[in-house]
Amino acid sequence: MAQLWGGRFTKETDRNVYLFNASIEFDKRLYKEDITGSMAHAKMLEKQKIITTEERDAILKGLEGILTDVESGALEITDQYEDIHSFVEANLISRIGDAGKKLHTGRSRNDQVALDMKLYVREQIGEIDSLLLQFQKILYRIMEENLDTYMPGFTHLQKAQPVTLAHHMSAYFEMFVRDRSRLSDISVRMNTCPLGAGALAGTTYPLDRECTASLLEFIEPTRNSMDSVSDRDYVIELLSALSTIMMHLSRFSEEVILWNSNEYGFIEIDDAYSTGSSIMPQKKNPDIAELVRGKTGRVYGSLMSMLTTMKGIPLAYNKDMQEDKEGTFDAIDTVKECLMMFMQMIDTMKFKKDVMAQSAVNGFTNATDAADYLVKRGMPFRDAHEVIGRLVLACIEKHKSIDEMTLSELKEISDTFDEDIYEAVSLETCVQKRLTTGAPGVEAMKKTLATYKSYLNENIS
């Protein structure tokens, strides 16, 4: 047990207490951030003449060596250390001796861990954002290829009005636009550097906090030292944004599961992205989609647990806050894995265009257009709604769709109907005449795609 404290104690920590208290098992993933923060701190200490140039150089060389050895596997991070900060410091001291003992001047593990976590979250936000961008590019390709792939649009899971596959995919594209903008808002808001806040009340050493902030590419140092070490808002905001991403992925998953069912049969999931049954040879299961839907729960769980952990903590740092890590790491890993798996499944999926179009023609998805036809011939919409309601009832009795009714059958319902009704309620007309901004008609969708194209070009990373 290598600990950073001990002077005040006369007895060793109980082994189980040590293990209960330790965070090395999960904060070891912050080794790079811890070393990066320490390097910036050492540079600033030298600039402020708190340590000598030789001491700084020794520290930087020692830290670089630790980083290289951890990455090559030559140096293992073991539970001999309480946390990643103790691990790095103890290794530094054993490599460079006394100069290593000066690194912690004007610093506390409280501002150190706040910094490490911010650096980590900031980097992960970038990675999740580029996964979302990659997914949007796949959706864009599907949209371009399916501007006139007709399918039913649903409300209450009942066929409502026909749309296109491009239009349907565009709805998810929009969700991911908002998800990405949430991530970017968070990365701006959280981009202040807590280093130099010390344990809670700053320090008497003449630290240059602006210097460390700029070395670490933060906009500026945090303004209040107590807030600096006890703020985990950005973790909560991230978990909330991740929960929303999972909620979107989960809805998408639900649709893939439905579309893959025998009843819908809209899609064929690629063999590489589906699984079979150990007993039923005919099965091809949408396991990826089901797992993504299922994993949504654990990301929501991390958000709830962090909100609950933080709610009763008096200022400033308290050990409760060590609980920020496991849930956040798990949520980040889960979202990244789900995004990767899900987008590959979507990218390789085949859409059965005929089945989709066939499904769009039955189920009276053109009933609204039939009512609009009567309105265009002078009938008030409320009356037209009533007439078409009666028409649908008659169709159900005759087991026919609206366009299968003969003109005389239609005229029995209302003599406003004429030959041109068939054109007016055809699948093509129903979709193509919908040209308002954001609507599924090809010309409207082309405009939407043009805005996506410039959005994606601006976002080439």
Binding region for ligand ARG (CB under 6 A) out of 236-244, 280-288, 315-323, 349-357: 315-323
Closest approach of Cβ 109 to ligand ARG, in Å? 4
Q: 267: closest CA among 344, 351, 355?
A: 351
The answer to whether residues 266 and 151 touch, using CB atoms and an 8 Å cutoff, is yes
The reply to whether 277 belongs to the active site is yes
| Residues 266, 201: Cα–Cα separation, whole Å | 62
Closest approach of Cβ 322 to ligand ARG, in Å? 4
Three state DSSP letters for 286-307 = CHHHHHHHHHHHHHHHHHHHHH
Closest approach of Cβ 299 to ligand ARG, in Å? 21
User: 150-155 and 158-164 as β-strands: parallel, antiparallel, unpaired?
Assistant: antiparallel
The answer to whether residues 269 and 352 touch, using CB atoms and an 8 Å cutoff, is no
| Residues 284, 274: Cα–Cα separation, whole Å | 6
- Is 38 near ligand ARG (CB under 6 A)? no
Ranked by CB distance to ligand ARG, the top (closest) residue is: 322
The reply to whether 156 belongs to the active site is yes
220 phi and psi angles, rounded to 5 deg:
-165, 170
- Is 13 near ligand ARG (CB under 6 A)? no
Following DSSP, what letter does each residue of 43-91 receive, concatenated? HHHHHTTSS-HHHHHHHHHHHHHHHHHHHHTSS---TTBSSHHHHHHHH
The answer to whether residues 427 and 162 touch, using CB atoms and an 8 Å cutoff, is yes
| Residues 418, 411: Cα–Cα separation, whole Å | 8
- Footprint (CB under 6 A) of ligand ARG, residues 64-93: 83
The answer to whether residues 83 and 27 touch, using CB atoms and an 8 Å cutoff, is yes
Closest approach of Cβ 116 to ligand ARG, in Å? 8
Closest approach of Cβ 46 to ligand ARG, in Å? 25
Closest approach of Cβ 224 to ligand ARG, in Å? 18
- Is 322 near ligand ARG (CB under 6 A)? yes
Per-residue contact track with ligand ARG, 278 to 297, x per CB under 6 A? --------------------
Which CB atom, from 315 or from 340, has the smaller least distance to ligand ARG? 315
- Footprint (CB under 6 A) of ligand ARG, residues 99-158: 109-110, 113
| Residues 353, 355: Cα–Cα separation, whole Å | 6
Per-residue contact track with ligand ARG, 158 to 197, x per CB under 6 A? ----------------------------------------
Which CB atom, from 58 or from 117, has the smaller least distance to ligand ARG? 117
| Residues 249, 343: Cα–Cα separation, whole Å | 10
- Binding residues with ligand ARG: total (CB under 6 A): 10
Which CB atom, from 318 or from 459, has the smaller least distance to ligand ARG? 318
Name the site residues for ligand ARG (rule: CB under 6 A). Answer: 23, 27, 83, 109-110, 113, 317, 319, 321-322
As annotated, the active-site residues are: 156, 277
